[in-house]
Structure 1
Amino acid sequence: MPALEFRNATEADMPFLIALRNATMSEHLARVNAARDDAAQLARVQALFEHARIVSMNGQDIGLLKAYKEATRWYIAQIQIAPEFQRRGLGRAIIENVLNQASRDQLPTALKVLTGNPARRLYEALGFREVSREGVDHLMVCPPRPDPFPASA
């Protein structure tokens, strides 16, 4: 798999991020009857923008990751991969990167997924389990993974 690169998002990335959100989320938002007009999409892109990282591969922007460390957990606020790059293991690789960091910090990782979003299968395969539900949002948590290289005693 080609190496993924991450960089901080800037205002110049807004057209890409809006198009990415429309391409990846409109179907899921429509299914749960959530707002998906331009203003709602822009608000979601701008939410937690300080944590927005553009994901690129071979110099091409392919996605978005918003993840950050809180006092008691890591939180994945958004992950989106452009449709033409989906089903290649890229989302899994990005999430595993966050899970590995959280495990080094000995913290669980949380995220929310919309009802009916097929990404839930990936999250479950990675060890996330639903812990609560609020409307159409399902909060899922993955415990820290055991250290694959524990210090010898």
Structure 2
Amino acid sequence: MDISLRKATESDMDFLFELRDLTMRKYLEQVGMPTSRENYEARIRYQFDCAEIIEYSGEPIGLIKAAYCSETNMWKLIQIQVHPDYQGKQIGRRVIQNLLDLAKDSKASVQLSVIKTNPAQKLYSKLGFIRINELEQEFIMICKP
């Protein structure tokens, strides 16, 4: 499968709004989190400098945002979303595993938050993430080297 990453740009905004709605609306609504266009935009623009578009054969199919903090030697997996048409094809797993491999090289941990109703928790657990905290609507998970 020809998967690649490229830096997200302003021209990706329409795709990113659609992707967020398709992949997150149900889970956001289940826990009472907002789904307005303004909220979507705030989340999309949050650390946009770290945003990379996941492409399959040159077509955008997802998003990953990850940021490294040298003070804590930790990667924060801010967002990962794969278009529903491409879910279940190991794409998210491969992209996250690449981040875990990068982190392992520097003995860094990787942390993420996941909405409590999001079934992606199962994937994260299989990849070695464990829950370290529980917030009202989310779990905080970490994978240590």
Count of aligned positions: 143
Counterpart code for 2:48: F
Equivalent residue of 1:28, what SS?
helix
The Cα RMSD (Å) is 0.7
Question: Match for residue 111 of structure 2?
Answer: 110
Question: Match for residue 147 of structure 1?
Answer: none
Question: Match for residue 135 of structure 1?
Answer: 136
Q: Are 1:67 and 2:66 an aligned pair?
A: yes
Equivalent residue of 1:78, what SS?
strand
Query: Within 2, Cα distance between the matches of 1:117 and 1:88?
Result: 18
Equivalent residue of 2:76, what SS?
strand
* Structure 1: stretches of 5+ with no match in the other structure: 145-153
How far residue 87 of structure 1 moved from its aligned partner, in angstroms, is 0.4
Query: Within 2, Cα distance between the matches of 1:58 and 1:3?
Result: 5
The TM-score, its normalising length taken from structure 2, stands at: 0.97
Equivalent residue of 1:35, what SS?
coil
Question: Match for residue 36 of structure 2?
Answer: 37
Over residues 48-94 of structure 1, what are the superposed CA-to-partner deviations in whole Å (9 max), with x where a residue is unaligned?
Answer: 10000001011111000001211220110000000000000000000
Equivalent residue of 2:64, what SS?
strand
Question: Match for residue 8 of structure 1?
Answer: 7
Q: Are 1:78 and 2:89 an aligned pair?
A: no
Structure 1's consecutive aligned runs of 4 or more residues displaced over 3 angstroms after TM superposition are none
Question: Match for residue 55 of structure 2?
Answer: 56
How far residue 3 of structure 1 moved from its aligned partner, in angstroms, is 2.6
Equivalent residue of 1:64, what SS?
strand
Query: Within 1, Cα distance between the matches of 2:46 and 2:109?
Result: 22
Counterpart code for 1:95: I
Which structure: larger Rg?
A: 1
Q: Percent identity?
A: 36
Counterpart code for 1:127: G
* Structure 2: stretches of 5+ with no match in the other structure: none
